Structure 1
């Protein structure tokens, strides 16, 4: 293998690319070896013996896969989160989670006949107003107001 570093350097300067992007035709190595001036290298570039390779980009395929998984709701576990809980979970999501658990507990109490239908309706509305922070607080409220069904 002949040393073509000076020809490669000249070609890179002429083509305005890095030396790694200069391709030299392996069939015409002897011609390139004989070219020692800029003019001779320019002639070889014109003859397509020396060509600049296309710029290599960074593939987005892996990024697209991750993006697709995130769209599907993956990669959202505790290990992927930074910042406080309140910063990450939107107010709407926090509200939906809370109100769903409150309404679920109210349905359970009504189904097991621990509270009456009228109590259920009243407390359901109170829960919707945002009075209760948790299921435990809801149950404390029912106990304090003596809304449990009389046995």
Structure 2
């Protein structure tokens, strides 16, 4: 009975939704601004955690980022201005989805380019290997005397 109760408690704890790290004192009184802040914070990376957004992180720096974002929105910044402020302050690493221009363009293109180059090198190396395989020697042309002898042997 104890095992069943423990298994049930474990299953329920695994099925429970993840608790968000946003503290009650951070929540803005204006529901529209709070919704904007939540939407923006889903795309901002916690600089302490690995690939976790600031909305879900319990790190003190993530809390500071959430508060700073809400301050910028309360001050009247647009969504783009608020995110740009955080990017200017902390760098593009703060974005969970990095931009595809500037120096990042090289990183976005490098992976597919290297894949295509690798496939090209493999195809070239394989074609060279197959060209090096020795072909069977071509049959030499028989002389008239050999042809006569072959015909005699075939008739027997």
TM-score (norm 2): 0.23
TM-score (norm 1): 0.24
